[in-house]
Chains A and B, each alone.
Chain A
Amino acid sequence: MASHAAAVARLNRLGLRCKAEARYDEGRAHYERALALLITRPAPDLDAIATLYHNLGGIEHARGDYAAAEAFAGRGVALRAGLEGADPGDLAADRSALAAILDGQGRYDEAEGLYREALRAFRRDPGARGWDIAVTLGNLGAQYARRGRLREAARLLRRAADLKAQVLGPGDPGVAVALNNLALTLLRMGEAGRAAALYRHAIGLLESSLGADHPWTLTCRANAGSALRPGVTPP
Chain B
Amino acid sequence: MQTPQQKNTAGMPSTRELELARRQIERDGGTIELGSEELEERVTPRLASNHNETFLAA
Which residues of B sit under 8 angstroms from A16, Cβ to Cβ? 48, 50
Q: How many residues of A contact B (CB 8 A)?
A: 83
Given contacts A32-B24, A48-B47, A82-B9, contact A1 B54 (CB under 8 A): no
In the complex, what residue of chain B is closest to A49 when comparing beta carbons?
Answer: B13
| B49 lies within 8 A of A90 (CB) | yes
In the complex, what residue of chain B is closest to A100 when comparing beta carbons?
Answer: B52
**A1-20: which residues lie under 8 A (CB-CB) from chain B?**
1-9, 12-13, 16, 19
**A-B CB contacts (within 8 Å), total count:** 172
Closest CB in chain A relative to B40 CB, distance in Å: 9
Determine chain B's interface SS by DSSP, over half rule: loop
16 contacts between A and B (CB under 8 A): A4-B32, A5-B45, A12-B48, A33-B28, A36-B22, A40-B22, A45-B44, A48-B47, A51-B47, A58-B52, A75-B11, A81-B10, A85-B5, A93-B51, A138-B54, A143-B54
List the interface of chain A (C-beta within 8 A of B): 1-9, 12-13, 16, 19, 32-33, 35-55, 57-58, 61-62, 69, 75-86, 90, 93-94, 96-97, 100-101, 103-104, 131-132, 135, 138-139, 142-143, 145-146, 174, 177, 180-181, 184, 187, 216, 219, 222-223, 225-226
List the interface of chain B (C-beta within 8 A of A): 2-13, 17-18, 20-22, 24-25, 28, 31-34, 38-39, 41-58
Taking A51-B48, A181-B54 as known contacts, 6 extra A-B pairs with beta carbons closer than 8 A to each other, sorted by chain A number, are: A3-B38, A32-B24, A75-B11, A85-B2, A93-B51, A180-B56
